[in-house]
């Protein structure tokens, strides 16, 4: 650990202090050091969106941010927002619409969907697609995902 | 893949950052949205990363005496939400929505995009079209570099080793000036197949194409043409786009003409 940097961050409301190797990105830190395996590591170069987490209220690619850069930051993962109930409506809609099959992309999809809901709660179907454009799903063909988010935003059944 | 080991420093003062950035095998980390993928894929293996995100003087977007100054650390998301940009630089406001995806726009910066000089990037073409000036600092002092002199080739700029982009200044668009931004990509937010940042002032057009050469290029012949048909013909003299994985050179030239046609009546 020759380059390790003392880092303090708040993850899902809990303060965490660790010595972190600078080369470790945020998602590896969350998964391997903290055991929070809900954020998934897909492409590891910013294309797939499976690693999306929230840092200081903004969604980021967890693989494109070093864990040491999260010093002093507030990080939310799918575990935290599931436990708090913040994502409950979206999660229920995904379930009802069969908006996931293997589920690998789902935590990232939910992060992007919730971000849209907070920023643009009246988003059109086209805007939903645009906001999710950085999240790959290889199972569903996206239709059901967009349906689920549209239902939550517009109350359509 | 995982990045090779490196040391990390987050200086609080610009002078300290410049001294660190001047070290051999040091790299500057701004938003990291291009650098970190290249580290993860081991295309780049610096010994030291100098994280400049703590430097307040590189942040902010201001309007003074008709000139918009965008700090190097302004993120795409900040630019997207900036009232100053929306009102005074509609070309940049239109371009930013094409840059990657929301989660990437929250961290990527304009200074990083200019310094990297990806030939498919949006900002370099916009800055070239609007004759912006790039401000830099190094331990030797500061420089102001015109966009036309700044972009020198594939990922190549006028920046010397250890020199940082600190800001870019662009004159606010006036009421009688026009601009248009158009981009073709396979998916919203993907790298541009070809794109056009166009600006018209005093009867003069400046057509900056990106994704059409090793750097953003001005289509000077097309810009001088009197009508659309002769402009489209003249584009062959301005652009010899390299083929990519999906598009031949001829296809890219055709698409560049399509964008010119779409932009023409707004200029």
B185 interfaces chain A, CB cutoff of 8 Å? no
Contact residues of A toward B, CB < 8 A: 2-3, 5, 21-23, 25, 28, 44-46, 49, 52, 58-61, 63-66, 68-69, 71, 111-112, 115-116, 129-131, 133-135
Element (H, E) at B63: strand B61-64
**DSSP character string of A36-77:** -TTS--SSSSSSS-TTEEEETTEEEEGGGSBGGGGTT-EEE-
CB-closest option in B5, B41, B104 to A21: B5
Query: What value, to the nearest 5°, has the Cα angle with vertex B195 and ends B191 and B197?
Result: 125
Q: How far is B54 from chain A (nearest CA, A)?
A: 10
Which residues are CB-neighbours of B8 under 8 A, at least 6 positions away?
Answer: A3, A5, A22, A66, A68, B48, B49, B51
Q: Are strands A5-11 and A74-76 parallel, antiparallel or unpaired?
A: parallel
Chain A neighbors of B51, CB-CB under 8 A: 69
Q: How far is A58 from chain B (nearest CA, A)?
A: 7
What ipTM did this prediction achieve? Answer: 0.96
Max CA distance (Å), chain B: 57
B27 interfaces chain A, CB cutoff of 8 Å? no
- Closest to B122 (Cα-Cα) out of B98, B89, B105: B98
Residue B1: the pLDDT is 86
B49 interfaces chain A, CB cutoff of 8 Å? yes
- Closest to B106 (Cα-Cα) out of A37, A112, A20: A112
CB-closest option in A45, A61, A71 to B103: A61
CA torsion through residues B96, B98, B104, B108, sign: negative
| Distance between CA atoms of residues B45 and B3, nearest Å | 7
In three-state secondary structure terms, B84 is: helix
Q: How far is B221 from chain A (nearest CA, A)?
A: 35
Residue A1: the pLDDT is 47
Q: Which tens digits make up the pLDDT trace of B196-221? A: 999 999 989 999 999 999 999 999 99
DSSP B143: E
Does the structure show a pLDDT above 80 at A157? no
Query: What value, to the nearest 5°, has the Cα angle with vertex B157 and ends B156 and B158?
Result: 140
B12 interfaces chain A, CB cutoff of 8 Å? no
- Closest to B209 (Cα-Cα) out of B173, B175, B237: B237
Mean pLDDT of A40-50: 96
Mean pLDDT of A118-139: 96
Does the structure show a pLDDT above 90 at A51? yes
Residue A88: the pLDDT is 98
| Distance between CA atoms of residues A55 and A64, nearest Å | 12
**What residues of chain B score a pLDDT lower than 70?**
none
- Name residues 123-182 of chain B within 8 A of A (Cβ): none
| Distance between CA atoms of residues B176 and B154, nearest Å | 34
Mean pLDDT of A98-106: 97
Chain A neighbors of B100, CB-CB under 8 A: 46, 134
Please answer whether residues B151 and B117 qualify as being in contact, where contact means their C-beta atoms are separated by less than 8 angstroms.
yes
Other CB atoms within a 10 A radius of the CB of residue A132 amount to: 25
Which residues are CB-neighbours of B37 under 8 A, at least 6 positions away?
Answer: A44, A45, A46, A64
Per-residue confidence band for A156, with pLDDT thresholds at 50, 70 and 90:
low
Chain centroid offset of residue A122 CA: 21
8 Å CB contact of A3 and B36? no
Residue B187: the pLDDT is 86
Q: Are strands B194-201 and B204-210 parallel, antiparallel or unpaired?
A: antiparallel
8 Å CB contact of A22 and B49? yes
Residue A155: the pLDDT is 86
| Distance between CA atoms of residues B120 and B47, nearest Å | 28
8 Å CB contact of A23 and B41? no
Phi, psi of A55 (to 5 degrees): -120, 120
In whole angstroms, how far apart are CA A70 and each of A66, B19, B51? 7, 24, 12
| Distance between CA atoms of residues B256 and B221, nearest Å | 14
List B159's β-bridge partners, or say none: none
């Amino acid at each position: 650990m020759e380059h390790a940097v003392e880092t303090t961050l708040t993850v899902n409301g809990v303060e965490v202090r660790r010595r972190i190797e600078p080369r470790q990105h945020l998602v590896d830190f969350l998964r391997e050091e903290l055991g929070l395996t809900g954020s998934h590591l897909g492409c590891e170069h910013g294309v797939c969106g499976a690693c999306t987490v929230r840092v200081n209220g903004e969604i980021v690619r967890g693989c494109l941010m070093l864990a040491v850069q999260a010093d002093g930051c507030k990080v939310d993962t799918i575990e935290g927002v599931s436990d708090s109930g913040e994502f409950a409506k979206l999660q229920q809609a995904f379930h009802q619409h069969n908006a996931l099959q293997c589920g690998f992309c789902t935590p990232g999809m939910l992060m992007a969907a919730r971000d849209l809901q907070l920023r643009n709660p009246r988003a059109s179907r086209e805007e939903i697609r645009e906001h999710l454009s950085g999240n790959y799903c290889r199972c569903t063909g996206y239709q059901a995902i967009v349906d689920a988010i549209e239902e939550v935003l517009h109350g359509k059944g | 893949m995982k990045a090779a080991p490196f040391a990390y420093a987050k200086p609080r003062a610009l002078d300290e950052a410049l001294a660190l950035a001047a070290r051999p095998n040091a790299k500057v980390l701004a938003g990291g949205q291009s650098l970190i993928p290249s580290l993860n894929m081991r295309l780049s293996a610096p010994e030291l990363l100098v994280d400049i995100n703590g430097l307040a003087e590189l942040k902010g977007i201001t309007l003074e005496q008709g000139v918009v100054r965008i700090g190097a650390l302004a993120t795409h998301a900040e630019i997207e939400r900036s009232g100053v940009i929306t009102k005074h630089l509609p070309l940049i406001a239109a371009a930013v929505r094409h840059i990657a995806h929301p989660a990437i726009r929250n961290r990527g910066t304009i200074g990083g995009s200019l310094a990297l000089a990806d030939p498919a990037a949006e900002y370099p073409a916009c800055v070239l079209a609007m004759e912006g000036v790039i401000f830099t600092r190094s331990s030797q002092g500061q420089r102001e570099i015109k966009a036309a002199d700044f972009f020198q080739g594939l990922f190549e700029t006028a920046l010397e080793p250890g020199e940082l982009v600190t800001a870019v200044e662009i004159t606010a668009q006036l009421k009688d000036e026009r601009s248009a931004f158009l981009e073709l990509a396979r998916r919203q937010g993907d790298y541009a197949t070809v794109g056009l940042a166009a600006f018209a002032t005093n009867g003069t057009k400046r057509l900056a194409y990106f994704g059409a050469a090793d750097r953003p290029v001005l289509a000077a012949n097309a810009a001088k043409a009197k009508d659309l048909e002769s402009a489209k013909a003249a584009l062959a003299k301005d652009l010899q786009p390299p083929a990519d994985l999906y598009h031949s050179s001829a296809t890219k030239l055709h698409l560049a003409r399509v964008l010119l046609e779409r932009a023409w009546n707004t200029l």
